[in-house]
Amino acid sequence: MSKASGLGWTTLSVDDSTGSPQAIKNDITNLTFSTPRAVQDITGIDKSANERLLLLADFSVTLDGVFNGGSNAAHAVFSTVPSTSVNRTVTMVVNSKTLPNETLFTDYSLTRAATGELTWEAPGVLADGTVPTWA
């Protein structure tokens, strides 16, 4: 196994509201994603340290980018977040590793900074109960 940077993402696509994947990696400037597991504390009074069980898996993502009003670009994908209630497949491929998830985007916020930048942020959460699995 070799170490790698986060440079040169092969794929970052998000379905638009019609279910068509759109390659919007050029509009994204940074992202954060996580695949946490819930835990249940099952520590009995006979223990001197915590005892836990692993529970449900989850996925969340926050995409940040630069406004692009072109067809099939980021704004076309996310502008329908407030008016549609659809799962959107998020597919990420970096260093030949793929993480696809059915996601519900909960917001599409735009910011116009004092210096003139027009940027956006779109947070999403796991939609369908499928365990996030790297392939």
| Residuewise pLDDT in 10s, the chain (135 residues) | 588 888 888 999 999 999 999 999 999 999 999 999 999 999 999 999 999 999 999 999 999 999 999 999 999 999 999 999 999 999 999 999 999 999 999 999 999 999 999 999 999 999 999 999 999
| Phi, psi angle pair for 74, to nearest 5° | -55, -45
Encode 85-116: b = buried (16+ Cβ within 10 Å), e = exposed: eebbbbbbbbeeeebbbbbebeebeeeeeeee
Q: Which pLDDT belongs to residue 3?
A: 87
Question: Smallest Cα–Cα separation from 53: which of 69, 38, 71?
Answer: 38
Question: Smallest Cα–Cα separation from 76: which of 16, 11, 127?
Answer: 16
Q: Report domain extents, the chain.
A: 11-126
How far is 119 from 121, CA to CA, in rounded Å? 7
* Count of beta carbons in the 10 Å neighbourhood of residue 76: 16
